[in-house]
Every structure is written in C-alpha cells, then in structure tokens.
A and B are shown apart, each in its own frame.
Chain A
C-alpha cells in the first residue's frame, strides 16, 4: 500500500520508534507534501569521476587496488553546480532519512526536472526497509544544454510503501555498504563478494 499524506503524517509523528519514519529536516511542509509523496532537496555534496587518467572501471581490479579517482565538490549555498550535457555526477539529499522495517521507499524524479532533461537516478531508485542516511542521487543531464543545480532546491520525491516487516532490514544485512552515510558516496561495488571470488580465481582485470 502506498502511503498518502495522512498516513505519512501519522508515521512521521509516531511515538513508536518501530513505526516512525524519520525525514529531517522538513523545511517547508506545504511545498514538500504531495498526495502520495514527499519532496526532498538537493544537498551541497557532489562527486564526479575524474576520467583524465582512467582507461576504464573494473570493479574487480581497479577499484580494489586503488580508489576510483573522484573529484568532490562542496557547493556553497546560493551557488550552483553545473551539470553539463551527458555528464554524470553523484549528489546527496539535504535530508537524512530513517526507514522502518515495514516500509520501502521509491526515489522518483520530479516532472519539472524531467522536462528539462535531468535524471536523478540511474538505476538505484529503491530504498530498503531499515535504511538510514542521506539519499544519493545519480544525476545525469540528458538534455543538450548545461543545467545549474542549486543546493536546497526540491529535486526528487519519496514514495513510501507499507508491507510486512522484513527480517532482513538494510542495516542488518550481511552485505551493507551504504548504511548511515551522510553525503554523496561513490560505488562500493568492488566490495561485493562476487568480486572477491573473481580476484581469488585470478580471473579479473583482463
């Protein structure tokens, strides 16, 4: 069941920590609440892969031996991060969220941004029950003109789905790579056990 604004209100104020959804800060509820969604804002952290000396990304080899060269940008409030056509960057939400074990979340773009050619996630638009931290955006400009992104603007929306409580909440999974993170975090795919097996087998890095 998708939560509407009344359900969300009940969850955001619930005295029961097992039921409570945390989204903080809520800056302007009138602007942020939709019928079945809550808008979230762009934070100040951005990361862009520095491709100048990079031939390719190999999670099994390159990322395990040395971190992927990433440029970090802290954009001062009031200033803009310019996302050029075709460029990919990681951003983070201003908000910090904590999701209870019976709630899953979809991160969706806002149509106003979609009409300008801005995608806010490449493929990871799902937040597991039990997750806490900032939401990472996978920003991609598919238009033909650069887009100025200002920290603090509403850039995405969260849609909450209620289900039975999971026995495998995100923060207690065996392989949890992003729980509790508070900024734009790069990929930790090389920590997946498949790549450890590949490395042991010597099959990676061709």
Chain B
C-alpha cells in the first residue's frame, strides 16, 4: 500500500493502533511537563500505580475472543493498544488529570482531530497547592467497565475488526464526555510552529536530545573563532568570550512536546517503511517508539534541570 507521498503505509488498523500508542506515550509525557516539583511527583506517582493494565488487557482479550484469529490486529495488537488507552485513562484519573492546560491541549486538539476531543484539565478551583485534583474513588474504576460495556453492546465490532476501533473510540469519547465533573473541554488552538519547535523537531529527527538550543547561531561562533585565530589573540577573556557562544538555552515543555509531534510526523513514514521490511513490523515500530519517547522524556527532564541551574546561577550573580 502506498500513500500520496509515494511511501508505503501500514494497514489502517495497524496505523490506528500505532498512533494511539504513540499518542498515549506523548500524553503521558504531557502529564509530566509541569514545573519541576510537580513533574517529578507526578512521575513518581505514576510509577507506583498498581499494574491495572494487565487486568484490563485480559478483559479486552476476552471481549475480542470472537475476532477472526487470522487477523493479527484483531487480537494481540488491538488489546495491547486498548490496554494502553485504559492504562492511560486510569493513570490520568489517579493523578488528578493534571494535564498542563495550554501546553499539551493545543498539541492534541490540532492533530488528533476528533480523538480525543480535548485533554482533561482541572478547574482552577479544584487544584490543590501541589497541582493535584482530588477525585472520587469511584471514578478510578471506570476504565474497567469498558470491555463490559462493549460486551453489553453485543460487541459488533468484534466481528468487523475495522470498525472495532471506531467503536472503542466512540465509547471512550462518551466516557470522557460523561465525566463532566472531572474535566473541562479545552478550546482547540492552532499549533504554532516557531524556530524553537522546529529546532527541537530537527534534533529529535536526528536522534539527539532536544532539551536546549544554542543561544547563538553556530555560524557566528565559528566566525568569532576564526577571527580570534587570525588576530592571533591568546587572551583568556577573548577565548572565553568565543566559548560562551556555545551556551545553550533550555526550551519549554510546550516546545519539546510540539517539536516531538512534528518530529513524529517526519519520522513516521521512515519507520513505517522500515517496519514493512522487518520480519515483525509491530515490534520494529515498538522499538522505534520506545526510543523516541525515551528521548522526548529525557529532553523534558533535562530542560527542567537546566532551567533550575540557570535560575540558581542568576540568583548567585545578583
């Protein structure tokens, strides 16, 4: 199968699973894109969550037991992706849906189309001083009801795997919409791509950490270095002046996540093309996605620490 750009693409259902997977990962990172303290606290909380996903996956598998076993995406792939969705849901609920408004919602809204329609975000009055939202305990169990709801609906999608996704997404959308006591719909905004976002995307596309960008153009630094050589200057202060041009400025979480999305759009056709030649396309994609998300996550963490070091240096200089 070839898309309009002449590159091969995965079958639609694989593509859907793959996209959900990566988006879920990016969303997780979005949760961790708050300020430094919250960032670490949220991630630690997330790591300590009981592994509900295994239970949920088992339920999903049962719900799709009637699927055509000859279609690989009808069972394992689908249940894994669905498990991730459910896992993501429960994580967000437990964390108090602490998505940073404005940072991640715009990214999601523009690119995700109708799914998900919006990020869950706390109302200001619901946020405690640490940025967490207290939730009713009953809400936590909600994702567990998904497979049962599908089964109750006769799981028609199980017979038509292509429509299974649509059914799942509609159901998930409905669940989100029904949860009006928890979240609010954030308005969609345009994804603004500035130089920082493009810089981040460029670095990620080359497999580099994208936590910071040069404070000065490297051409300027090269030119200053050449000028120093030609002048024969060997003074320490002149040299330090040139070296200072190598300093990098941390980028914002918004820039990292937006750049990550831009990079993903660039990389996806390449990954897909490689995956189609691999013996196990989904494993190939999983490896690529995991490495990519690890790089994005490390970029967010490093940028946070970099900012702190800068603040400390500025305080010390005053």
The verdict on A26 contacting B247 (CB below 8 Å), with A76-B40, A77-B308 known, is yes
Residue ID in chain A nearest B244 by CB atoms: A29
A29, A78, A95 pick with most chain B CB within 10 angstroms: A29
A128-140 CB contact bits vs B (8 Å, 1 = yes)?
0000101000000
Residue ID in chain A nearest B44 by CB atoms: A74
A17 to B308, CA, bound (A): 31
* A13 CB within 8 Å of chain B: yes
A182 to B291, CA, bound (A): 9
Residues of chain B with a CB closer than 8 A to A145's CB:
none
A33 to B36, CA, bound (A): 27
* B309 CB within 8 Å of chain A: yes
* A18 CB within 8 Å of chain B: no
The answer on a CB contact under 8 Å between B301 and A44 is yes
* B294 CB within 8 Å of chain A: yes
Residues of chain B at interface, number, CB under 8 A = 43
* B285 CB within 8 Å of chain A: no
* B310 CB within 8 Å of chain A: yes
The verdict on A28 contacting B247 (CB below 8 Å), with A13-B221, A74-B40 known, is yes
A24, A26, A151, A182 pick with most chain B CB within 10 angstroms: A24
The answer on a CB contact under 8 Å between A27 and B248 is yes
The verdict on A77 contacting B246 (CB below 8 Å), with A27-B306, A134-B298 known, is no
Residues of chain B with a CB closer than 8 A to A59's CB:
none
The answer on a CB contact under 8 Å between A24 and B247 is no
Residues of chain A at interface, number, CB under 8 A = 36
Residue ID in chain B nearest A132 by CB atoms: B207
- Determine the main DSSP class of A at the interface with B: mixed
Picked from B41, B248, B294, the residue with its CB within 8 Å of the CB of A24 is B248
* A110 CB within 8 Å of chain B: no
Residue ID in chain A nearest B313 by CB atoms: A28
The verdict on A151 contacting B242 (CB below 8 Å), with A9-B221, A76-B37 known, is no
A13 to B245, CA, bound (A): 10
Residue ID in chain B nearest A134 by CB atoms: B298
A98 to B209, CA, bound (A): 10
A98 to B44, CA, bound (A): 29
* B286 CB within 8 Å of chain A: no
A54 to B199, CA, bound (A): 46
The answer on a CB contact under 8 Å between B243 and A25 is no
A181 to B243, CA, bound (A): 28
Q: Which 7 residue pairs are nearest across A and B when measured between Cβ atoms?
A: A96-B209, A25-B212, A182-B298, A76-B40, A29-B243, A25-B248, A77-B308
CB within 8 Å of A: which residues of B?
Answer: 36-37, 40-41, 43-44, 47, 203, 207-209, 211-212, 218, 221-222, 225, 229, 239-240, 242-248, 250, 291, 294-295, 297-298, 301-306, 308-310, 313
- 6 new A-B pairs (CB below 8 Å) besides A6-B225, A15-B218, A98-B208? A26-B247, A29-B244, A76-B41, A94-B306, A134-B298, A152-B308
